[in-house]
Amino acid sequence: MSSIGPSTSGSGTSSTGTSTTQTKTQSLGKDDFLKLLVTQLSHQDPLKPMDDTQFMSQMAQFSTLEQMTNMSGELERLSFSGQVSQAVGLIGRAVTYEKRDGSTAQGTVQGIDIEDGKILVAIDGDKVEPGQVRSVA
């Protein structure tokens, strides 16, 4: 689930009186938003219920958050699919690429591999990331 922003926790004092600061990143998602909304509704004053416009505004925010989360996931999948397609287009092509030691080499792309979510181009026994390919003939 994607985050809607980082938050930090404040500073406190230890038993020796010195001040320490902790920073941690938290992400709020649609489940957290619903929990907050339900908690707010259950603790409101029955004689002064939440204004309808506030409730509708919060529901619209929830709907927007859910749509943005879904769109983010789809964009990630679409981007990865495009990268795979570009790598497949290199198969059989002669390329110049940068090796891990910084030197350059030439070879023919024999295929692609996906390892741990990363695309690797197989060139004459070497596996390199597509960004290491310097030229295509």
Residue 79 corresponds to which amino acid?
A: S
Position 20 scores a pLDDT of 45
Report the C-alpha gap between 56 and 45 in whole angstroms.
18
**Both structure tokens of 32:** 């957290």
If we measure between CA atoms, which residue out of 127, 120, 47 comes closest to residue 83? Answer: 120
Model-wide pTM > 0.85: no
Phi and psi, residue 107, nearest 5°? -175, 180
Domain assignments of the chain as residue spans, ordered by start:
29-42+50-88, 90-137
Please list the pLDDT of the chain residue by residue as tens digits (137 residues): 433 444 444 444 444 444 444 444 556 666 777 787 788 777 777 777 666 677 778 778 878 888 998 999 999 999 999 999 989 999 999 999 998 888 999 999 999 999 988 999 999 888 999 989 999 98
Domain 90-137 belongs in CATH node 2.30.30.30: yes
Q: Which two tokens stand for residue 73?
A: 């996931």
